[in-house]
Structure 1
Amino acid sequence: MTKIMLIDDDESLQVLIGQIAERDGYAYCCASNGIDGLTMLRDERPDFLILDVMLPDTNGFEICKTIREEGRKVPILFLSAKGDIVDKSIGFKAGGDDYLVKPFQPEELSLRVHAHLRRCNKGVDGESLSTQKNRKVYSVGDLELHFGKYEVRLRGEPVALSSREFELLELLASDPGSVFTREQIMQHLWGGTDTADPNSITVFARKIREKIEDDPSKPRYLITIWRVGYKLTES
């Protein structure tokens, strides 16, 4: 069973995330400080780590650095009351994969966890993603995307996309139906969150919709998941 781990000294948050994990079908463990958290991480080997930035004995950024220095590739999502770009940049540069600001909606956390696990081929059902990853063409309805060729067709006619627009669409098409967070998209397109304006993603999504959707205000293919990110229709 896929295992989720939390390092946070907030007991109410420990209970909440435990409830989310149980509801979503994950095993769950938690620790209240960095030292115990590292020990538990090494013993439990979780598939996903939720890490608070402010801990009683250290900070989450240092814990993350230690985890990466040990060669561990577990996806790490930071939790913090600080949401400015400076703190987010520190978190991503320390080796984090995502950053969620407190207070947050439980459903948003659930969607982010699931999205990352799908990236790592560790969904709740353990289903392999090799079929999606190895295919050459994404096709749904009248839309076709040819991986690696910068080629998109709508009803058989070529669609003119910029390189960034195609790369965004190609990323989403690599795992149809799964939500990609804004942070994941920025990492993919620009290699980090401190080199581009997050609003650029919104602009790219709007331009793509204008080119592939019959009614951009009611998209069929490129779907926004509010406060989380985007996905492409699976079928």
Structure 2
Amino acid sequence: MSKRILIVEDEKNIVDILSFNLSKEGYDTLEAYDGQAGLQLALEQDPDLVLLDLMLPKMDGFDVCRQLRQAGRNTPVIMLTAREEETDKVLGLELGADDYITKPFSMRELLARVKANIRRNEMAGAVSAAPAKPAGQRMELGRMAIDPELMVVYKDGRPLELTQREYELLRFLASQPGKVFSREALMEHVWNYEGYVGDVRAVDVAVRRLREKVEDDPAAPQFVVTRRGLGYYFNA
């Protein structure tokens, strides 16, 4: 069955271009020209991915993303923005967007990001649906433990409420304690962007949100540590 992409964008020429190119790649598309209609379609049709413009009539992209996540939907969301302000990008990621791309964008890059986000979502679903693994697969990391079968992280014996992306990021870093991974490497291995070169702000936002949930003091992290100028590593 073809994957369905919901395009929420108020500029018809952009919608037409996106729909045409996505259809060429084998995707089915749904279109909405304002935020309210986009949110309704996202909730009713459950698409495989949402391309979401920030500046929309009736309800902006921030509110659409916020309400989608509040409804418990983990649908991958890529935000489209014509603005360069860093606060817009960070706020979108903080509200639960998986990625953003700034207009004007290359269709090749957008299609690559669509494919990567859908693939990541499928991989996460496959892990959660996989047969139970032996108890020995649990990763014991001092005060922290990771159960790959349940996709749950425990700190001092208590389960942490992590998003799927936060879990994947922590598990990847913890799989090789002490090894430093650059932001680009994390974009490649956790975000599934092969050979990624570009804006890595999404990694910093994800790390900051993760630290707020796993660290005793997020301002002085003990588990997810920065190696200045190089990247991040897990300290068991």
Task: Indicate the TM-score class for this superposition, using the shorter chain for normalisation.
Answer: 0.5 to 0.7
Secondary structure at 2:101's aligned position in 1? Answer: strand
Note if contact 1:7-1:37 (Cα within 8 Å) is conserved in structure 2: yes
Q: For the structure 1 residues 35 and 2, does the alpha-carbon distance in structure 2 shift closer, same or farther, using more than 3 Å as the test? A: same
Query: What is the CA–CA distance in structure 2 between the aligned matches of 1:104 and 1:171, rounded to whole Å?
Result: 19
Structure 1 residues not aligned, in runs of 5+: 136-145, 152-161, 206-235
1:55-66 counterparts in 2 under 5 A? Answer: 55-66=56-67
The match for 2:48 is 47
Amino acid across the alignment from 1:182: V
The match for 1:81 is 82
- 1:54-78 CA-to-partner distances (Å, cap 9, x unmatched) read 0111211011111111111101111
Query: What is the CA–CA distance in structure 2 between the aligned matches of 1:149 and 1:168, rounded to whole Å?
Result: 18
Amino acid across the alignment from 1:79: L
Secondary structure at 1:121's aligned position in 2? Answer: helix
Q: Aligned residues: percent identity?
A: 24
The match for 1:36 is 37
Note if contact 1:118-1:178 (Cα within 8 Å) is conserved in structure 2: no
Note if contact 2:78-2:99 (Cα within 8 Å) is conserved in structure 1: yes
Note if contact 1:77-1:100 (Cα within 8 Å) is conserved in structure 2: yes
Query: What is the CA–CA distance in structure 2 between the aligned matches of 1:167 and 1:52, rounded to whole Å?
Result: 25
Query: What is the CA–CA distance in structure 2 between the aligned matches of 1:8 and 1:109, rounded to whole Å?
Result: 15
- 1:38-88 CA-to-partner distances (Å, cap 9, x unmatched) read 221122110100111001112110111111111111011111111221111
Over the aligned positions, Cα root-mean-square deviation in angstroms equals 3.9
Q: For the structure 1 residues 148 and 93, does the alpha-carbon distance in structure 2 shift closer, same or farther, using more than 3 Å as the test? A: closer
Structure 2 residues not aligned, in runs of 5+: 138-171, 211-217, 219-225, 232-236
Secondary structure at 1:6's aligned position in 2? Answer: strand
Secondary structure at 1:83's aligned position in 2? Answer: coil
1:79-118 counterparts in 2 under 5 A? Answer: 79-118=80-119
Choose the corresponding residue for 1:164, options 180, 199, 213.
180
1:103-142 counterparts in 2 under 5 A? Answer: 103-121=104-122
Q: For the structure 1 residues 94 and 190, does the alpha-carbon distance in structure 2 shift closer, same or farther, using more than 3 Å as the test? A: closer
The match for 1:150 is 176
The match for 2:166 is none
The match for 2:168 is none
TM-score, length-scaled by structure 1? 0.60
- 1:125-182 CA-to-partner distances (Å, cap 9, x unmatched) read xx95799xx99xxxxxxxxxx985528xxxxxxxxxx533289757745798846683
Amino acid across the alignment from 1:107: R
Size of the alignment, in residue pairs?
A: 175
Amino acid across the alignment from 1:150: Q
Query: What is the CA–CA distance in structure 2 between the aligned matches of 1:182 and 1:169, rounded to whole Å?
Result: 10
Note if contact 2:5-2:27 (Cα within 8 Å) is conserved in structure 1: yes
The match for 1:9 is 10
Amino acid across the alignment from 1:15: D
Amino acid across the alignment from 2:181: E
